[in-house]
Structures are given as C-alpha cells and as structure tokens.
A and B are shown apart, each in its own frame.
Chain A
Amino acid sequence: MSGPLYLASRYLRHHWGKTAILVGSITLIVFLPAGLRVLVGQSADALTARADATPLLVGARGSALELALASLYFEGEPPEPTTWAQVDRLGATGLARAIPLHLGFRAREHPIVGTTLAYLDFRGLRVAAGRRMAVLGECLLGAAAARDLGLGPGDSLVSSPETVFDLAGVYPLKMQVVGVLAPAHTPDDRAVFVDMKTAWILQGLGHGHQDLTAPGASRAVLAREGDRVTANASLVQYNEITPENAGSFHFHGDLSGYPISAVVAVPPDEKSRALLRGRFEAPDETQQVLRPRQVIDELLATVFAVQSYVVAAIATVAAGTLATAGLVFLLSARLRRREIDTMVKIGAARSFVAGVLAAEVIVVLLLGAALAAGLTGLASRFGADAIRTFLVS
C-alpha cells in the first residue's frame, strides 16, 4: 500500500464513527435512486409480461383498472360481476377461447380463483405434485400458496368465512387439496384454484343437503303439499363435499345467469382480436373488453411520473448531502492543521499531504458506492419479496 493511502486508511479507521456516517450517507444517496430504478424496472417488466400474456379481458362495464388488476394479479377489489352468459357469448362468436374467472374469495390470505382447466393450460401451469381438480370441492394450490400454508395433496383447506355474523350467509367450505403447481413466478403461485362450480358453492349458489323425501329429513320439513316440500332452517346443508354427499350438491336455475368476475378471451389471431373488440362497442353494450397491456401501460405511466418526482427529490437531498460531506472534509482539514504542519515539518511534501487527504475522500466515496452497488444487487434479488411481505403483513 502506498504511503498516502496507508495514512488515509489509518486515519479513517481511527475515526471510524465519522467514517461510518460519511460512508452511510454516500451509500444512501447512491442507492436510493439506483435501487428505486431497479425495483420499478423489474416490477414493470413483470407486470407487462403478465399483461402481454393475456390478450383480452371481458367484464362488466366499470373500472378497467380494477378489472385488469383483479384478473391478472388477483389483487384489489373484485370487479363488478358479469355472468356465465358472457362465456357462452364469446364461445359462440368463434373468435376466441373464453376462460372464465371467479374472484373475491380467500383461503387465509390466498386468493381463491374459480376457473376452468383451460386457464391452467393457457398459463402453462404444470402440476408438480398430485393432480388437477377433478370433482366438486377439490382445489389445486399454487407453489407459493402450498409453501405458505404448509399443505400438499391429501390435506384440506377451509375457505375464509365471508359473513361471520350472517346466519343465512355464505359459510366456509372445506376443500380437498389434490395437487400443487410447479412455481411459475407469477401471481398464479399465490392462488388456490378451484373449479367454477366449486366457486359458486363457496358463494352459496350451489349446495348439498339432505334428501327432503327421505324419512330422516322429516324434522326439517315445514310443509308438504303434493309434490311441493318446504324445509325449515334445520335442514342439514353440507360444508364439505365428500364422495358420500357429492351427489346431493346441485345448482338451481339457469347457469348462464351465474356470476363470474371476468373472462380471459384468447383470440387465435389479430384479426379475430379486432373483430371481437368491435362486437363490444355498441352504445348499449353492458360489457367492456380491454387490452390488459394498454391498461397496465397507463398505470405504469403514472408510476414512472411519480418515480421521476421521487428521483428529483432524492437528487436534491443528494446534492445537500454531498455539500455537507464536502464541508465535513474541509472542516476536518482545518481541524487537522497541526497534524498537517507536523507532517510537513518531518519532511512530507505538500503534494504528499494533499494525496493523503484526497485518498481519504476517495476511499469514503468508493466504500459508499460499493455498498450502494451491493444493496442495489440485493434489492434486485430480494427487494420485491421484502416489499410484498411487508405489504401483506
């Protein structure tokens, strides 16, 4: 190690408190804009990749942003419900494959996504253990959901109650876990997938109960008039679907009127996409069709605008911090006047002394920059998970 560098390092080590504060300040002013840029860039890539992979979304007229966010990332409030008739309508056009989504229910903090097998194929979700859901009451866990819940095939999972104090409301359903998906590194990892019909049972639209014509159900019968039976509240309704009671589960009315949250429409080509969008442009149309990429781009434009304000603020703070650091070095040099004079008296050249002082500044700057680079690297690797954990908790 050369003389000036050796003396500078000894000085910085001796005054470790001052050195730590200076290095810390430099680290922060370098890391904040760099880390923010990395996080925003990385997250924006992830958001747009998901949006790009979803050609069109169809849902009830209302907030396009809510529809896109709920359907793509299973976050936020579920959009205004539409009906299964839209799935049939899209299918009938022959212009797109229609994949329904039913959102809004949760199992602990994980979203329960009601859909069809087509969704798993469309997203390329592969079963890592067990199998796909096959009958009512079965569920398939995303990789992160399985890890967080500590569940696997053969275990059971209870949906979170939606109406704790509503005695006539929707009760939790005990679901059988039949499979776990391989990690996809998308919001699908956090989801609990069920069949649409299981989702409707969660919503209380399908149910299983005692056979009202069976002798054992007589206590639940209020009135029997010809082929008409009226039951009271003691009628046993099942909150778990088992092979024994599965046959009693049923749905009433026309399924085309049953609620869904959105439909992912997958047209085979650009022409079909354009034609399909045209079908939803009538003035009296009750549904909206949107390109998720367009919605997410608008959202990201807002994010980048906010980011530029934040970066400008950080730059101002950085300028102030650098000025303060410069002042610290100047004052430090003045306070060290006797030390510098001693160095000159024992034969050190002025340039040597200047070298020592410059080495101190350079070492502090380099240490701060190196630490900022390390933190930025960590942010790119773990930052999103850390923020996600913070927000969830």
Chain B
Amino acid sequence: MRRALLAAALLAFGCGAADEPAAPAADAGDGRLLVYTVNEPLAYFARRIGGDAVDVRFPAPPDVDPALWSPPPETVAAYQEADVILRNGAGYAAWIARATLPADALVDTSAGFADRLLPVEGAVTHQHGPAGEHSHAGTAFTTWLDPTLAVQQARAVAEAIAAQQPERASELAANLAALEADLLELDARLAKAALVLAGRPLLFSHPVYQYLQHRYGLNARSLHWEPDETPDTKAWRELEAVLAEHPARLLLWEAEPLPEARTRLEKLGLRSVVFDPGSRRPATGDWLSVMQANVERLESALLRER
C-alpha cells in the first residue's frame, strides 16, 4: 500500500516531462582545442607541444603569483569552457579545490610522480569542534624547477592534447621530443653548476626552490624575503645568524631585489642572483628563455666565485 501511495505521489511529481534533450557540444570557439593552464610553465609546454592547433590561455595577471592567485568567478566560468585544464598538482593553485570545474577536462600534470613530491615543513596542526585534529600541511609545488619532473609534466600535457587530437599523434610526439631535449639540456647545465658549487652553502630568498635543491643536492637554506621589499632590522639580524652557521656566498632571488638590499648583501659577502621560477607570464621571451637566463646568471655568478 505504501508503495502504491508513493507511486501515486510520484506520478503527480513526475508529470509534464518532455523528452530529454541531447547534451550540448563543447564550445570549440574557432575550432582549435581550448587549453587553460594554472601557470606559465604549463602554458609554455602546451604551446610548444600543441602548436597552432591549440589555443592556450593562462589568464592570471602578470603581476600576481599564480600559486596564490584566486580568479574571480567570471574567470572560473571561462575555465569551465576549456577542453583541457592543465593543473600543476602538488597543491599548486589552491583555488582549484574551491572551484567548479569539469572533471573530464582537468589534468593533473604531476599525478605521475606523486611519490616524488616534497612535503612543506612547519605546517600547523589544529583541532576544533567534533571534526578532530587536522593539519593544513601541503607539498612544495614548483615542481618544474626539477627539469626531469618538468619532462614528466610535459608528457602529461602531450597525453592530454593527444587524447583530444589523436590524429595529430606523430606531430605532438615530435614537438614533445624537442621540448624534452630543451629541458634535459637545462638539466645538464644545472647539474654542471651544482658540481661547481660542490656542496658549498647557498641561500634562497624564499622557500620555492625545493625541487631544484633536491634534484641537484644543493646545500641550501631558505629565507622569507620578498624582492620588492626592504628587509627590516630583524630580517638582517636573522640573516647574520643564518650566515654564522651557513656561510653562503650566493643568494638566489625570485626577482631582481631592491638595489639597497643587493648592495648591503654584497657588503656581507653575499652575491645576489636572480633565479626566476618562471611561474608568471614573462614580459619578454618565453618560459624557456627565462629558465635559460636563470642558468646563465647562475653560471656567470659561479665563474665569478672562482
């Protein structure tokens, strides 16, 4: 009887249905594959591999760190229209966890090396309410600074594009091979620089170089200095304390530091070298040229050290 009553009620609720319309086709725009990315390295990989048949978009403003950027809902809505959304993974671009994006389009480019991700130290564990104890610990996310990981990310990009454009498989493979060669050349040059460093102490202005450090076994420590800010007295005191234990001669910056900081560092015997992680859209050139310039600056600083 209950079943019959339920059925009667549902019959009333179910009334008025029309035939289900077909799902709308993906918005292809000009017919090219639409790819959105969360940082410049992935945008560069997608452009190199996909070529002109792929419309690559990375909408973060150039003056904002894409890792910390939170796009407005309208921009998220633009991401929703993409055929492929390239994520860096490793907790990069935390806004993705709060956004509604098509799961079919999302590609985690670091999923293939989840076991090689590096944890961030110093996360706070807290407890409130019935949910119990939890931590906001994360992983280091500038994965591409290890070129061998960048190669794996590039392969994930190639796979994602090939899945959408299988007819271009051989062309995509050739483009990927060329990109891999460039990345491995970077790797070889960085390995050589690390050999020159030979375990000597090194400083990073910010804890974003974990994968570079890990890949080349660098004896490095990280500060929390911003290139566009003048370090205060406390920061200088902390630096002196660090130098007492870790007598570095080189300090790698994410961007050009303020001249007064550079001058004062030189007085302490610390040479400033810009090593841009390349996560933002460069004003000139492309991501590879940014990375090559990084290596050149490092090589030249090491030459001067000799």
Contacts and interface: CB of A to CB of B under 8 A. Distances in A.
A95 interface: no
B128 A209 contact: yes
B267 interface: no
Contacts of A122: 23
Nearest to A266: B23
A23 to B, nearest CB: 28
A232 B128 contact: yes
B125 to A, nearest CB: 5
Nearest to A253: B134
Interface stretch (B9-17, B111-119, B169-177): B9-17
B11 A118 contact: no
A384 B15 contact: yes
A122 B21 CA distance: 9
Contacts of B19: 49
Contacts of B303: none
B24 interface: yes
A132 B9 contact: no
A114 to B, nearest CB: 11
A186 B11 contact: no
B49 to A, nearest CB: 24
B76 to A, nearest CB: 4
Interface size class of B (residues with CB under 8 A): 35 or more
A246 B98 contact: yes
B126 interface: yes
A365 interface: no
A126 interface: yes
Contact of B4 (A46, A47, A232, A302): A302
Contact of B123 (A118, A133, A227): A227
Given A116-B102, A303-B8, A385-B15, A213 B124 contact: yes
A60 B134 CA distance: 28
A50 B134 contact: no
B12 A231 contact: no
Contact of A391 (B12, B74, B97, B127): B12
B15 A42 contact: yes
Interface in A197-218: 197, 207, 209, 212-213
B283 interface: no
Interface size class of A (residues with CB under 8 A): 35 or more
Contacts of A253: 134
B77 A134 contact: yes
A91 B104 CA distance: 10
A247 B8 CA distance: 47
A49 B122 CA distance: 56
Contact of A47 (B10, B74, B134): B10
A75 B23 contact: no
A229 B125 contact: yes
Interface in B85-130: 94, 97-104, 122-130
Contacts of A131: 73-74, 77
A251 B21 CA distance: 35
Nearest to B26: A121
Interface of B: 3-4, 6-24, 70, 72-74, 76-77, 80, 94, 97-104, 122-131, 133-134, 136
Interface of A: 39-40, 42-47, 49-50, 52-53, 65, 69, 73, 75-76, 91, 97, 116-118, 121-124, 126, 131-136, 138, 168, 178, 184-187, 195, 197, 207, 209, 212-213, 220, 227-233, 235, 237, 243, 246-247, 249-253, 299-300, 302-303, 306, 383-385, 387-388, 391
Given A134-B74, A134-B100, 9 more contacts: A46-B15, A49-B20, A52-B20, A117-B102, A135-B99, A228-B133, A237-B129, A246-B98, A251-B97
30 contacts: A40-B11, A43-B14, A44-B11, A45-B17, A49-B17, A50-B20, A73-B13, A75-B10, A117-B103, A124-B24, A135-B99, A135-B100, A138-B73, A138-B100, A184-B21, A186-B17, A209-B128, A213-B124, A227-B125, A229-B126, A229-B127, A230-B127, A231-B127, A232-B128, A235-B129, A246-B98, A252-B131, A303-B4, A383-B15, A387-B15
